[in-house]
Amino acid sequence: MVDPRLALLLLLVMLGVTNCLPKPSWRLKNVPDGCHCDPELCPQPTACLAGLVRDRCHCCLECGNVEGQICDLDGARPFHGRCGENLLCKMDIGALEHGEVAQPRCTCRTQRAICGSDRKTYANVCAFKEAAQAANGARNLSMAGIGPCRTEPEIKLPPRDQVNKTGQDAIFLCEIVAYPMALVEWRKDGLNVSLPGDDPHISVQSRGGPLKYELSSWLQIEGVTPEDIGTYRCIAHNKLGRATAHAQLHVLAEDADNLSPHINDDLSSETEEYEDYY
């Protein structure tokens, strides 16, 4: 009869040998050929705006790609790198609308706006964390709340002075950022009514954009005359406050040929800029 103590000893020895045998690992299935991991040789990543990710060998930590940066889709050969924290690598289908080649880019998992302690609104948590990392301790940036910061209107792009010949059209553009969304009106100095009033050759158009929580407004004067000379004001207001900006319109005679070259260039560039918004 076998001594029970001897049987127990043999069992313990066999269990010890089994524990020493190599075990299958999910990491081994995902590690490319030729990878050798020595953590002591890993470089120390610094200034990583999107946090840290494992390298192609799942060994060392490296900087993750930031939002909008080209990335490697799952299963693709490592080349551009992996997306950082809170980011997904997705094909940028929107590029096709602009005639560009669609490429995989890092996209934030959530698009909810974040209000920072600096009273700035960040498009999402990824943009907020980038700003916090970029500050590098220079300022204590923290999350004040989910959603855009409540703020009085700020005129991001004010209207610009214009010099037009009689009969030409004049267009003033005003871009405002605010939350809650601002209401915009146009006025001309010397008049007590908001434009366009009952003037058939003046029109006002407003729409959201170009970015979130922004509003773009245009004042168009068709076939300007000397009577249109004056100062025009863009006035934006919400329940938190108001902001205003102004520009002047100068009108020359229809046969005026003495416009200096730089004025002609300015008029041409402004016309192209406004046409981009339509």
Q: What is the CATH number of the domain that holds 156?
A: 2.60.40.10
Q: Are 137 and 167 members of one domain?
A: no
Instruction: Report DSSP state, residue 158.
Output: -
Q: Are 262 and 223 members of one domain?
A: yes
74 part of a folded domain? no
d(CA 71, CA 80): 5
Q: Are 167 and 240 members of one domain?
A: yes
Phi, psi at 18, each rounded to 5°? -60, -40
Q: For residue 114, give the nearest of 137, 136, 130 by alpha carbon.
A: 130
User: What six digits make up the tokens of 86?
Assistant: 């809170």
Q: Are 157 and 182 members of one domain?
A: yes
Structural domains in the chain (count)? 2
| pLDDT of the chain, 278 residues: tens digit per residue | 556 555 555 555 454 544 444 443 334 445 566 788 888 899 999 889 999 999 888 899 999 999 999 999 986 778 899 999 999 999 988 777 777 788 999 999 999 999 999 989 999 999 999 999 888 766 788 999 999 999 999 999 999 999 999 999 999 999 999 999 999 999 999 999 999 999 999 999 999 988 888 999 999 999 999 999 999 999 999 999 999 999 999 999 877 665 544 444 554 555 455 555 44
User: Are 176 and 153 in contact, with CB atoms under 8 Å apart?
Assistant: yes
Quote the pTM value.
Answer: 0.64
38 part of a folded domain? no
Q: Are 175 and 264 members of one domain?
A: yes
pLDDT of residue 185: 97
Instruction: Region of 152 please: left (phi>0), alpha (psi -120 to 50) or beta.
Output: beta
Helices (H), the chain: 4-20, 26-30, 94-97, 125-135, 261-275
User: Are 62 and 52 in contact, with CB atoms under 8 Å apart?
Assistant: yes
Q: Give me the domain span that covers residue 178.
A: 152-275
